[in-house]
Amino acid sequence: MSQSVLFVCLGNICRSPLAEAALRQECADAGLNVIIDSAGTGDWHVGQPPDERAQAAAVRNGIDIGHLRARQVTAADFHDFDHIIALDNQNLRDLSAMRPAKADSKLSLLFDHVAGRAGEDVADPYYGEAAAFDQTWAEVTDAAATIRNWLAAD
Ligand code: 4NP
């Protein structure tokens, strides 16, 4: 059975769609069959494509994420996904609070998968400059490489 990973940020239009795209590419390159999705803890952008600056950052790295649509995380996600990975500590707290009592998914922080950066937030680029989205891309691709490795070893 294939493994599954859900990335969660606040709006699901900036950080988590980029993390989804980065891990998709890593897994495709490695020939790994992994179900990958993303969602937001908030509902403000449900149904919307990723922020244009996130789309542009992905295109700069050869990936089109324009087809993605934001959705809000649900209780069912805690049963449907093996791994739920929060982009920052507030997302992690919000996910812990809504986690159903009997749910198998493993909850973690994205930077806990990057050596030397455990406990850190992926900074929210929403109110930043375009360059902030390139930094987000660099951070999520770092994590995606490590996550790909442990998925391959599982
Ligand atoms: P994201 O960024 O959580 O990385 O998708 C944000 C997008 C929208 C908002 C906040 C953060 N917002 O407040 O609308």
Tell me what pLDDT residue 2 has. 83
Instruction: Please say whether the beta carbons of 88 and 121 come within 8 A.
Output: yes
- Whether 14 lines ligand 1, by a CB cut-off of 6 Å, is yes
- Of 8, 12, 13, the residue with max ligand 1 atoms within 8 A of its CB, to mutate for a pocket test, comes to 13
Nearest residue to 106 (alpha-carbon basis) of 129, 81, 142: 81
Cα(64) to centroid of ligand 1, in Å?
20
Name the residue at shortest CA distance from atom 8 of ligand 1. 11
Q: Which of 104, 78, 84 lies closest to 37 in space, CA to CA?
A: 84
DSSP state of 110: G
The finding on whether 136 has its CB within 6 A of some atom of ligand 1 is: no
Instruction: Return the pLDDT at 23.
Output: 98
Taking only the tens of pLDDT, the chain with its 154 residues reads 689 999 999 999 999 999 999 999 999 999 999 999 999 999 999 999 999 999 999 999 999 999 999 999 999 999 999 999 999 999 999 999 999 999 999 999 999 999 999 999 999 999 988 899 999 999 999 999 999 999 999 8
User: 3-153 belongs to which CATH class?
Assistant: alpha beta
Q: Which of 37, 51, 94, 124 is catalytic?
A: 124
Distance from C-alpha of 25 to C-alpha of 35, rounded to nearest angstrom:
12
pTM higher than the cut 0.95? yes
**HSE, side-chain direction, 13 A CA sphere, residue 84:** 27
**54 Cβ inside 6 Å of ligand 1:** no
Give the per-residue pLDDT at 1. Answer: 63
Q: How far is CA 57 from each of CA 89, 95, 138, rounded to the nearest angstrom?
A: 24, 27, 10
92 C-beta closer than 6 A to ligand 1: no
